[in-house]
Each structure stands twice: as structure tokens, then as C-alpha cells.
């Protein structure tokens, strides 16, 4: 006999726990499963938890990020209370070329700011702790830790069966760069590996900075000041996951030295002791936009509309969806900014049928992929 749930969320990163949190506002039958020994223990734990505006001229991606920032700052303030760190962020130009770009961005600012010689200071800039977020969000839904999902299949009643043990009316996949449960060629995720360090220093820092890396405001710890510095970026496309992890272990000292050098280009650090190093893989889509909502069933869609492979067009409403399974993925390096906002959008769709912004739907990935089938066969 299966253990039955209305919703099962697979993946306990920031996207997964936010999704489960919003779902449990509407259902008392929510399960989150995570293969690790704790939630927020992989890429989300390696993230610095910085909340910062995206600068630039107006475009769809910038609007998405900054709308998410407004939502998420209010969200974290509400759930974290005194643990929410709102110290502002000073965005510094990297060089003269960057400084000229900054000048061109001024007419397009989405947030109040103060201008200084080397950049802009934004009051909205903040930082959250993965541990604090996990403690605040994970109280109202069931969690199964160290639970490896080996297979999911749909039965004749359109319920999803997980490991032949759990039955779910709806499954939400928030598995990051691990996409083996999605058997769809168009669904492509790239792992961008990163390293973050926490240091103790005699130097006190009152605000967050961002230049080529991010440097957090300091917290008192053991009579010194704890500062978070992150993060490196490694695209290791030709590596297996094991090879990538081994490479990062071998280059950990080098990456630490790089982060310290980048941080000291921003502020002076004295009596440095590295007390924590975290490594994780950000999940990035091929076009950098997140992927939220239903999956397209490519096999059934092409069977019904075979002319698609010849470059013909069909409207989105004709694309055949996989029933009862959804994704929230491809969030990249802004997980703590985007996840609360997108999780809320996804749950609003599931519960209230409120449309999800087109640019983050899987439709776009399928349409690009299906056009390439003819080109690849020519």
C-alpha cells in the first residue's frame, strides 16, 4: 500500500523548501524528499544568500530578477524577523569600462540608490543565512531526508508513484543540476560550480559589497568578525559530476586565494582565518531564464503534430503537457532571490490557475529544440 500525498516536492534546496512552504498554505498533504542528510545542504548551503538588485537597461530578465527581489526581501523580513540582515549593498564598478556602463544604467534603476565615485549603494541589499531560512520554513510540511528517488512513474489513474512506495497527485521537481528524472532532450541544465568561504577577521564591516565577488557585512563570532565571501564560477561542461567535485577539491586552495584577493580589492582584511569552505553547483538553463511549471511531452506532441520537425508552427495551447508533474529549476546564481517569488508563482498556478510568466515556461525550450531536429538531420 502506497503512502499517499497530494503534493510531493523532490529536492530540498531553496527552490524546493519554498515550494513546499507555499503549498502547505493550501494543503495539509505535502511531502518534501531530499537525498542528503539535511535540506539546503548542497548548492543552497554553498550560496552566500546575498539579495542584490540586477543593474542594466530594461529587459525581461532584469524585470524578473528585480520583481523577485522586491517580493523576496519582504518574504524574508516576515519569516526571519530579527535574523534578517538588511545592511544594504554597495555595487562597485570593476574597471573604467564598467564605470561607463554604470553611468548608462542610471535612468533605468528600479530601486532607490546613492551614487558614489565607484558605484551605487542600495538600501535594499540584504543577506540571509541558509540555516535560518531552513529553520523558518520547514515546520509545517513533512520531510523525508536521505531519501533517494530512483524512479517515478504514472499509473492508469494519473497518479505518480515514487520508488513504488509513495503516491502523489502532483509532483514538483526542484532537483537543480540533477535532471535524470526528466527524460526530455529539450530540458537542458548546465552546472556552474562555485566555492564560497567564511572568514574570521579583526576587521569590522558594516555593509555588503559586490564587485567581482560578494563580501558580506560582519557578524561577531568568538571575539572576531565573521564575513562571507563568494563565489567562484566554474563551467565544467566536459566533466562528470564526480570529476567536477574532484577538480574543485584539488583547486580549493587556489580558489580560496582568488576569493581573498578579490575581497581585499574591495576592503582591507586583517588577521584572516578561513573557517568554512562550501562548494556547490548552481543549476543554469541554456538561456539563463528559470524553468517553471509544466513539462512538455515531446514524444506525444511530435506524434500529434509531426510537421513541427519541418519548422511549422503550433500555438502553445496545443503543446501536450505531462500531467501532474511540474518543475522549478534553472535558477542559477540568484537562488535566494528568485526561489520564493517563483515558488509562489508556481503554487498560485497549481492552486488558483493563475498563469505563469511565459518567459520561464518550458515551452520556449521545447520550441527551440524541436526546430533543431530538422537542422540536425539535414
Residue 237, pLDDT score:
84
Residue 312, pLDDT score:
84
Among 7-21, 116-130, 301-315, the range scoring the smallest mean pLDDT is 301-315
**For residue 359, is pLDDT > 90?**
yes
In DSSP notation, 116-144 reads ETTEEEETT-EE--HHHHHHHHTTSSEEE
In degrees rounded to 5, what are phi and psi of residue 318? -90, -15
Position 153 confidence tier, pLDDT thresholds 50, 70, 90? very high
Q: What is the spatial distance between Cα 362 and Cα 6, in angstroms, rounded to a whole number?
A: 23
Residue 45, pLDDT score:
86
**For residue 378, is pLDDT > 50?**
no
Query: Rg of the Cα trace of the chain?
Result: 22
For 40-72, the pLDDT digits (tens) are 998 898 899 999 999 999 999 999 999 999 999
The percentage of the chain sitting over the pLDDT mark of 70, rounded to a whole number, equals 99
Residue 376, pLDDT score:
54
Domain ranges of the chain: 3-49+130-188+287-377, 190-285
Position 311 confidence tier, pLDDT thresholds 50, 70, 90? confident
Residue 1, pLDDT score:
77
**For residue 248, is pLDDT > 70?**
yes
**For residue 324, is pLDDT > 70?**
yes
Residue 57, pLDDT score:
96
Q: What is the spatial distance between Cα 260 and Cα 201, in angstroms, rounded to a whole number?
A: 12
Q: What is the spatial distance between Cα 114 and Cα 261, in angstroms, rounded to a whole number?
A: 27
The residues pairing with 10 across neighbouring beta strands, listed in sequence order, are 33, 173
**For residue 148, is pLDDT > 60?**
yes
How far is CA 156 from its chain centroid?
34
Among 82-96, 137-151, 240-254, 344-358, the range scoring the smallest mean pLDDT is 240-254
pLDDT average, residue stretch 102-123: 95
Residue 374, pLDDT score:
60
Q: CB under 8 Å to 326, separation ≥6 — which residues?
A: 170, 171, 172, 173, 293, 294, 295, 346, 350
Comparing 92 with 313, the larger pLDDT belongs to 92
Position 188 confidence tier, pLDDT thresholds 50, 70, 90? very high
Q: CB under 8 Å to 34, separation ≥6 — which residues?
A: 11, 12, 16, 41, 143, 144, 145, 146, 147
CB-count burial class (<10 Å; 0-12, 13-18, 19+) for 144: middle
Identify whether the C-beta of residue 68 lies closer than 8 Å to the C-beta of residue 342: yes
Q: What is the spatial distance between Cα 34 and Cα 45, in angstroms, rounded to a whole number?
A: 14
Residue 37, pLDDT score:
96
Identify whether the C-beta of residue 122 lies closer than 8 Å to the C-beta of residue 113: yes
Q: Please state which architecture CATH assigns to domain 3-49+130-188+287-377.
A: 3-Layer(bba) Sandwich (3.50)
The percentage of the chain sitting over the pLDDT mark of 90, rounded to a whole number, equals 88
pLDDT average, residue stretch 28-34: 98
Of 11, 24, 328, nearest in space to 147 by CA: 11
Q: CB under 8 Å to 344, separation ≥6 — which residues?
A: 18, 22, 71
DSSP state of 218: P
pLDDT average, residue stretch 225-253: 90
Average pLDDT, the chain: 94
Amino acid at each position: 500500500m502506497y503512502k499517499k500525498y497530494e503534493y510531493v516536492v523532490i529536492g530540498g534546496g531553496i527552490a524546493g523548501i519554498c515550494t513546499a512552504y507555499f503549498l502547505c498554505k493550501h494543503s495539509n498533504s505535502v511531502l518534501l524528499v531530499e537525498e542528503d542528510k539535511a535540506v539546503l545542504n548542497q548548492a543552497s548551503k554553498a550560496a552566500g544568500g546575498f539579495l542584490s538588485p540586477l543593474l542594466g537597461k530594461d529587459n525581461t530578465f532584469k524585470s524578473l530578477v528585480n520583481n523577485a527581489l522586491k517580493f523576496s526581501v519582504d518574504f524574508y523580513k516576515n519569516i526571519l524577523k530579527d535574523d534578517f540582515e538588511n545592511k544594504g549593498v554597495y555595487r562597485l564598478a570593476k574597471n573604467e569600462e564598467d564605470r561607463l556602463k554604470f553611468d548608462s544604467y542610471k535612468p533605468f534603476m528600479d530601486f532607490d540608490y546613492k551614487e558614489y565615485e565607484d558605484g551605487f549603494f542600495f538600501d535594499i541589499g540584504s543577506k540571509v543565512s541558509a540555516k535560518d531560512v531552513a529553520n523558518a520554513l520547514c515546520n509545517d510540511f513533512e520531510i523525508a531526508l536521505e531519501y533517494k528517488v530512483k524512479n517515478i512513474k504514472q499509473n492508469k489513474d494519473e497518479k505518480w508513484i515514487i520508488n513504488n512506495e509513495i503516491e502523489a497527485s502532483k509532483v514538483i521537481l526542484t532537483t537543480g543540476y540533477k535532471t535524470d528524472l526528466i527524460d526530455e532532450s529539450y530540458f537542458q541544465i548546465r552546472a556552474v560550480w562555485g566555492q564560497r568561504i567564511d572568514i574570521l577577521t579583526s576587521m569590522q564591516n558594516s555593509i555588503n559589497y559586490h564587485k567581482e565577488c560578494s563580501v558580506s557585512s560582519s557578524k561577531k563570532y568568538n571575539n572576531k568578525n565573521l564575513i562571507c565571501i563568494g563565489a567562484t564560477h566554474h563551467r565544467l561542461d566536459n566533466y562528470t559530476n564526480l570529476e567536477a567535485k574532484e577538480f574543485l577539491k584539488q583547486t580549493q586552495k587556489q580558489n580560496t586565494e582568488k576569493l581573498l584577493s578579490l575581497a581585499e580589492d574591495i576592503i582591507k582584511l586583517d588577521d584572516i582565518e578561513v573557517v568554512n569552505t562550501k562548494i556547490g553547483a548552481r543549476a543554469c538553463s541554456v538561456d539563463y531564464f528559470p524553468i517553471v511549471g509544466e513539462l512538455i511531452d515531446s514524444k506525444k506532441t511530435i506524434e500529434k503534430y509531426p510537421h513541427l520537425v519541418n519548422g511549422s508552427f503550433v500555438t502553445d495551447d496545443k503543446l501536450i503537457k505531462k500531467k501532474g508533474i511540474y518543475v522549478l529549476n534553472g535558477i542559477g546564481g540568484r537562488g535566494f532571490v528568485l526561489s520564493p517569488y517563483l515558488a509562489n508563482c508556481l503554487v498560485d498556478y497549481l492552486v488558483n490557475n493563475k498563469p505563469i510568466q511565459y518567459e520561464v515556461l518550458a515551452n520556449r525550450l521545447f520550441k527551440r529544440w524541436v526546430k533543431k531536429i530538422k537542422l540536425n538531420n539535414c
